[in-house]
Amino acid sequence: MEGVINYILNFLTGNKTIGGVPQFIGYTSDPMQFHKYKIVIIPSHFFDEKVYGTPESLPSLPLQTLEGIPFLFGTPQISRDKGTILLHADLVASTFFMISRYEELIRRNERDQHGRFPGKESLPYRAGIIKRPFLDEYRMLIKRLLESNGTIKKQTIPKITSVYLTHDIDAPTLYRSWKGFIRCIRDTKNIGYAIERKWGDIRKDPYYTYPEIEKTENFFTGRNRSLYKTYYFIKAGGNHRLDKPHYRINTPDIKQLIDFLDKAGNRIGLHGSYEAGQHPGLIYKEKYRLEQALGREIIDYRSHFLCSREPEDLRTLLLSGIKNDFTLGYADIAGFRLGTSRCVRWIDPSKRAVTNLTLCPLTIMDCTLMSARYQNLSFDAALAYCREIITNTASVNGEISLLWHNDSFTPNNVLHTLYEQLLQEIGKHL
């Protein structure tokens, strides 16, 4: 557990050191140790052997707050022991609970029809804080306390520090398959048009919106390129009906698409199939297949349907060589699934160990906002909802990740307009 505690303390102080010993801050209830630190977080009973892993370890609602910030364990008290500030709110256990997906480990029976833990059953949603990266608010609180006693200098103006623009290629084209060809005839009643779409220039297919995506994201042109990165996640397998349309990555169409994405400077990751979500062992084969097609190693991953079903399934990503998982958002509600806007190392809640897998939280997905099966928001309501998330992210010097599918950029698609609006809102905080 020492490595876990040190990682979390480093996270809470903004130190990016992995495995290092944190400065200024301790986690102990031993008064004899208080003098070693500027701030001490007092442990709750969360990690006690008779509590951990039981339903009794789950926090109760409503959550308590400290200086307006919600926390899960401990008491809302700040005291002093000579020159040391004592936080009785257990921010370490609260952070562990969120970034380890601990709630999903304990509440095994809470799954939707796809085997996913529902966002609307999650603690952040039920507590009314799904739009707040409250773990990052802990960082800001600790910084303010360290500033108040002269330990560190006042921090920079709040802003968004990184932007991840991601796109899942579930259906790379609309009319290029035989099923698409029949659909085109049915939709247009024009067989000549359908033949042209099936065998002609792929760039004329309605779903070949990748140049339009590039054009839209050129909003960031002239800004610091290190602030944002664009990722495309490509399927390389899956036989389940929800993996349709099935497409092969060695076809001329997909090779042309990959060449376009590469030349535009985008990163390419694996979009694990729905079937692989059910049977994680398939991730190995799908990763290998995509690597063979691309001729390079793949380290970025997102599961189709966001089907990261069980916390332990993340071990398969580690064993297959995946380094960054972009799955961790909820399909049914936009916000902060991990309680933080920042990329974090996954903590295995069963082994209570920090792993080498980085979780890059998914903040906002296109279909979550306006789909009737999810939030079912109007355009104006969706924009207002996302503005609040963006503002909250900037207030904690956080990171933001968007997922927009290529078919959301078809002509006159309101989701394309919403995406443009969100990029403008993000741009105000860079």
Contacts of 80 (CB under 8 A, 6+ apart): 86
Statement to judge: residues 69 and 167 lie in one domain: no
pLDDT mean over 189-216: 87
Tokens of 29: 């209830």
pLDDT above 70 (res 382)? yes
Say if 180 falls within a structural domain: no
Say if 188 falls within a structural domain: no
Q: Identify which of 172, 280, 175 has the alpha carbon closest to the alpha carbon of residue 234.
A: 172
Say if 140 falls within a structural domain: yes
Q: What is the pLDDT of residue 21?
A: 66
The residue segments making up the domain with residue 30 are 2-99+130-148
d(CA 15, CA 139): 10
Q: What backbone torsions phi and psi does residue 40 show, to the nearest 5 degrees? A: -125, 130
Say if 342 falls within a structural domain: yes
Q: What is the pLDDT of residue 187?
A: 83
Of 389 and 191, which is predicted with more confidence? 389
d(CA 46, CA 58): 9
Q: What is the pLDDT of residue 228?
A: 84
d(CA 422, CA 402): 9
Statement to judge: residues 408 and 267 lie in one domain: yes
Q: What is the pLDDT of residue 193?
A: 81
* Placement of tokens 């257990």 in the chain: 90
Q: What is the pLDDT of residue 178?
A: 75
Q: What is the pLDDT of residue 223?
A: 62
Band of pLDDT at residue 286, cut at 50, 70 and 90? very high
Give residue-wise pLDDT tens across range 367-378.
Answer: 999 999 999 999
Q: What is the pLDDT of residue 329?
A: 97
Say if 107 falls within a structural domain: no
Question: 86 and 42 in contact (C-beta within 8 Å)?
Answer: yes
Of 196 and 232, which is predicted with more confidence? 232
pLDDT above 90 (res 183)? no
Say if 65 falls within a structural domain: yes
Give residue-wise pLDDT tens across range 15-70.
Answer: 765 566 688 899 999 999 999 999 999 999 999 999 999 999 999 999 999 999 99
pTM, full prediction: 0.94
Statement to judge: residues 143 and 250 lie in one domain: no
Statement to judge: residues 134 and 167 lie in one domain: no
Q: pLDDT averaged over the chain?
A: 93
Tokens of 198: 């099936």
Question: 304 and 238 in contact (C-beta within 8 Å)?
Answer: yes
* Placement of tokens 């970034």 in the chain: 99
pLDDT mean over 385-398: 97
Q: What backbone torsions phi and psi does residue 164 show, to the nearest 5 degrees? A: -110, 115
Give the DSSP H or E segment for 316: helix 314-320
Statement to judge: residues 139 and 245 lie in one domain: no
Statement to judge: residues 304 and 411 lie in one domain: yes
- Render 88-157 in DSSP notation, one character per residue: EE-HHHHHHHHHTTHHHHH-TT---TTSPPPGGGSHHHHTT-TT--HHHHHHHHHHHHHHHTTSSPPPPP
Contacts of 114 (CB under 8 A, 6+ apart): 274, 277, 305, 307
pLDDT above 70 (res 407)? yes
Tokens of 174: 């609309």
Q: Total structural domains in the chain?
A: 2
Q: What angle do CA 108, 114, 119 make, to 5 degrees?
A: 65
Q: What backbone torsions phi and psi does residue 21 show, to the nearest 5 degrees? A: -85, 125
In the chain, % of residues over pLDDT 90: 82
Statement to judge: residues 232 and 363 lie in one domain: yes
Give residue-wise pLDDT tens across range 96-146.
Answer: 999 999 999 999 999 999 999 999 999 999 999 999 999 999 999 999 998
Statement to judge: residues 18 and 140 lie in one domain: yes
Statement to judge: residues 244 and 383 lie in one domain: yes
In the chain, % of residues over pLDDT 70: 97
End-to-end CA distance of the chain: 37
Band of pLDDT at residue 189, cut at 50, 70 and 90? confident
d(CA 78, CA 89): 8
Statement to judge: residues 20 and 45 lie in one domain: yes
CATH number at residue 310: 3.20.20.370
d(CA 228, CA 176): 32
Give the DSSP H or E segment for 364: strand 364-365
Say if 178 falls within a structural domain: no
Say if 385 falls within a structural domain: yes
Statement to judge: residues 139 and 224 lie in one domain: no
Give the DSSP H or E segment for 383: helix 379-395
Statement to judge: residues 330 and 352 lie in one domain: yes
Q: What angle do CA 94, 365, 65 make, to 5 degrees?
A: 25
What does DSSP assign to residue 231?
A: E
pLDDT mean over 400-415: 96
